[in-house]
Amino acid sequence: MDFNQSYRSFVLAIAQNKGIKNLVLTRGRNFARRFIAGDTLEEALRVVEALERDRIHAILDLLGEMVTSEAEARKFQGEIVRLVQAFGALPYPRYVALKLTQLGLDLSEDLAFALMQEILAEARKVDCFVRIDMEDSPRVEATLRVYKRLREAGFNNTGVVLQSYLKRSEQDLQDLIPLRTPVRIVKGAYKEPPEVAFQDKRMVDAQFMVLCKKALENGLYTAIASHDPQIIQEMKRWTAEKGIGRECFEFQLLYGVRRDEQKKLAAEGYTVRAYVPYGTDWYPYFSRRIAERPENLLFVARSLIQG
């Protein structure tokens, strides 16, 4: 296991400590706002307006995952429908992300499928795309099954995410090609065992490039979701060399991360989207962001000390 994987495992492990969690929730909120638009939909929509002034589009994500009751799942669905409707009232490209465990995937695939159908029907009215985020490895198979059922039901305004650190992802991509699935390629942010995930950063990066290039070669609209300068530069070079038009892919980066690069890519004429999360259930997402880079842990530690 290389340093990056060891660091991620360490941070994700201590993030589960109740004392650490309470400390971050009470004293780390200001730092969390670096990555999170705010608690409310209204705050998130103001961020959308600000991003659009720099020609950067937004992916809005109401934070929350792994609900434990149908009532919670239906509450999330109602809030996501409200998000879609509010976003639909703005004169910008509409794009929403969600996790199926928000909609009760752990309770019932049928429940998640039914709630997703209603969300996608509402999204279709306002030309909104809905990305199904991928979660940890035990939930990948169920997520893909629900996605395929939605496509069979006639919903084309949705797509999935593939994580390059999972060893299964290349085969998953192959299975998605006949559906012309819009894919988002990420490296992966969960703690996963060696049996299912590459533990060496070089392997993860190499697989990321393999997935992006294979998706594009097979005509899938591809979201290249990375902040890595080498990956971004290589994808710019490779797509130009292959004659793959800029309308076939886009770059996606996280809100609050490499803001200058987002503006630069947009100014160069690439489609750029910032992943903009909001909501009160921000701790799991925040923990994964801290686990990505040691510099983030130093910033949050300083923030906690200073209150």
- Strands (E) in the chain, as ranges, are 57-62, 94-99, 128-133, 158-163, 183-186, 222-225, 249-254, 272-278
Inform me whether the pLDDT recorded for 13 exceeds 80.
no
At residue 29 the predicted structure's pLDDT band, cuts being 50, 70 and 90, is low
The identity of residue 142, as a single letter, is A
Inform me whether the pLDDT recorded for 303 exceeds 60.
no
Between residues 287 and 273, the one the model is more confident about: 273
Q: Does residue 216 contact residue 248 with C-beta atoms inside 8 Å? A: yes
d(CA 142, CA 264): 38
Q: Does residue 57 contact residue 271 with C-beta atoms inside 8 Å? A: yes
Average pLDDT, rounded, for the chain: 90
Which pTM was predicted? Answer: 0.89
d(CA 61, CA 276): 6
Token pair, residue 1, equals 């296991």
- Strands (E) in 150-290, as ranges, are 158-163, 183-186, 222-225, 249-254, 272-278
Q: Which of 8, 184, 288, 289 is labelled catalytic?
A: 184
| Residue 133 annotated to the active site | yes
Q: Does residue 126 contact residue 94 with C-beta atoms inside 8 Å? A: yes
pLDDT score recorded for residue 26: 64
Return the HEC string of 60-120: EEECCCCCCCHHHHHHHHHHHHHHHHHHHCCCCCEEEEEEHHHHCCCCCHHHHHHHHHHHH
Write the pLDDT tens digit of every residue in 57-103: 999 999 998 999 999 999 999 999 999 999 999 999 999 999 999 99
Q: Which of 106, 133, 136, 205 is labelled catalytic?
A: 133
User: Of 64, 56, 144, which is closest to residue 95 (Cα–Cα)?
Assistant: 56
Token pair, residue 136, equals 């940890």
